[in-house]
Structure 1
Amino acid sequence: MLDFLLDRKPFSRDVAVFLNHLSNSDLVLDVASISLQNINYIIAKAKNRKSAHLKISKINSLVNVLNVGQKEIHPIYLNLKILKMDSKISVPQKIIIASLLLAM
């Protein structure tokens, strides 16, 4: 996403193609609220606050922003603790598995 918003070629072209397909489909891209805050911070530092605000506005029209707070994280943490999965499984994989279990 940053490559696209900061127009870092050649990577920005791939993201542009992806976003174009996304806007022409029924698919929805979920983005964590903290990710948008991080993107805003990075763009504001690289460019300026006004540019960051405009680019975040663009993103908001394309994505579904998900809250990431204690309410959302706590059940996942509990599932990870309950599952006590094999240490060979990475933390991101454990989070995905726990999220799928929560969705059931």
Structure 2
Amino acid sequence: MTTDVYLLDDGAWVSVDDRRVSGVGGLWRLADHGFCGCRLADVLAEGFVEVGLAPPDVEARLSGQCIACGEQGVTDWLAVGRVDPETGAFRAGVPESVHVPHTRS
């Protein structure tokens, strides 16, 4: 089963199979990250810069600003949702949950 993943509206949205599934403006809580000096960073998503598929996860890197310290930058890869391998149904992640960004090799 194929899954189309791409960015829309100059990085304002992540699209999965022609559906807008994750948009800018939300806070993403990051732990074990290199984004800023905060133990837990609350990053306001200002734009998605890359999107990809690491089955079953749909991942993205976002640009934003930590609302606690003001640091701006781009995150490593974050899971924004998951595609069920059997049905192809997409389930969105919860930005308010604690996320641990990772690098891709």
TM range, normalised to the smaller chain? under 0.3
Q: TM-score, normalised by structure 2?
A: 0.21
Answer 1 or 2: which has greater helix percent: 1
Bigger fraction of residues in strand: 2
**With CA pairs under 8 Å and 6+ residues apart, which has the higher RCO, 1 or 2?**
2
- Bigger radius of gyration, 1 or 2? 1
